[in-house]
Structure 1
């Protein structure tokens, strides 16, 4: 009995040997080379093989070889790009867990929205236009702006908010989704399903626009909702209905997984599904939930798939309830932007800062953010209430921005030219 892990995300944040200390089997890891920063080679793994191109067919060939050679019973994948690959391997070898048909409703946004609508869940008006003319007709009917996204996209990569007819006419359409723009604040609900029942879930609210990752030079705050917030219960119930719509026909093999749901709260107080994924949240949401529940969704989804207990959730599960957070929490993020890094903030000294990360070094020339999870800095903080947590995060974010100095490449060239001219 062994488990195969397809690891595209940083392995240092997924310490499988510690998570699965009582697991009576081997943990075999096939990882993207980029996932290996900060990981001692082969430490704790009988096989830890890396690939420069994790999308190359050789990855699945090696996966098949390991499944056949090591009596592997489970395949684990926590990245959106690998959920379907893991499901295909399970079906091919008759292994436990979800098959492709079970995860497609979470990966294909068109199918997702169709299932949700049949269950009475509101989604944005949408279309899959085959030409610019069809796209223009859709925008004429629903108004600008409109949103263009990949049907199977993630991390806001390729997402565009199109604000006029000329820009829309210049897009090449094929198998992409076009949606009417939904005004309001984006909320998200994150948690774990074990044995087909929600074992952990809590809502948060982005205080920024996800799609602005490429241009946002400020602090991006995301904070949990108080237990007595009128939205909290509504979002939890909305998410449960959505999960049931995508898995509740009685045939789904998807029963143990983490989820990340994004839901619009409109100015007229409606909840509208943006999308939902059957994998742990990105950014630092896992760290936020760990600070509130002592439970990491990725760890607990892994343990649930292998039939291991979920210690921090057992009492609530026995009572048929969801656990309550011991505090409020959130994250403040800054995005990479192109230029030469001259200075970065030091780790904050406040005891309410749970964790802090910096993803560059002074003297480094960095590119722009490639997606909504391509951070320059990140911090997780807690507080007794949502209002106090948001205040702390905003103050911390302002300080981080003030202590960050990145010089644009064009300014570097101009500065060099000035120095050279002065030295002549």
Structure 2
């Protein structure tokens, strides 16, 4: 059965970059009728916070990315320890004691000699007595996986055929000196034992994937299908990594972005298909095709979310936005006509409050000098309320007959006088809701 996973670290709020990974894995699982696992990568006890675990779940629930089960890596440390023991037994795991400063000096020396900055495996030649002395002096060392120096090859679901020379890659550290298990081995053990069949992640993980393929093979596991999506950039192609903290999903939610707008954009961004607003998750699942995505860096502009949000809101019924309409202060008896008036004239639900304030308090008239006499004459013809759906048409017809004005010269000055704006909702739907008309005074 197709099984995918999303494995965030609970060290902060998830952002649009994380969402891209989560969504692709989710859509693959749902399209195949498979399993989507939420796996919390909380092996770092210092940085992992329970509040972020809760926040991750809340953000995914807001988007409708429902998981089939939750796994926590902090509850599987015994499984990682067993895998580490197996690697030691087969001679693929060794302890190294270099300090960060020593490693940096080695890298600089290699670069100066025109060599790739790859760990030189000096620790492999340490006699046991020297290892004991280093432990006594520095504490436990890190544990590195010994790569077989051969080409590592796989067919990537997005990038195509990949071939990496393992000799050009440092033996990866899998366990730190303080005993913390790192992602590289924890993910391998989890993917193997949880039957993960497909893994989609960022292209910055390509080298990591190469090392993991060898670790999976060493542990006797089955390699999943790997795919690496392009990384997001800003709208001008600038690096987005430094801005991701300001693109947290909860921040976008606070700005009024609607879930289907965000999902519709992220499900197509970087693919050869145009971005189209989808009505629901079923449409997203049906239209998703991983093979349509490319390797080029993908431009993301947060402003693209707002036209999609506006279009999505236009499709909603009153029952779907009733809480937001009530929060704007609209009384229940006016909710239906108010939503009919406002729905095509908002970008986010927060804009509803402004339209209700206009209805309730009126607007400062916007009257051009050449239109003052005309507006004054027209306002004298406006009947006393209450108004209905026919009032605007009847009134402007009467004004036309008296003044001879027609078209834009008739309608625009009246709109500006009543609303203080040059554009907005159909006046036939807005006029019945105006409780104060300042242009009368």
Structure having the higher Rg: 2
What's the TM-score once normalised by structure 2's chain length? 0.27
- Give the structure with the higher percent strand: 1
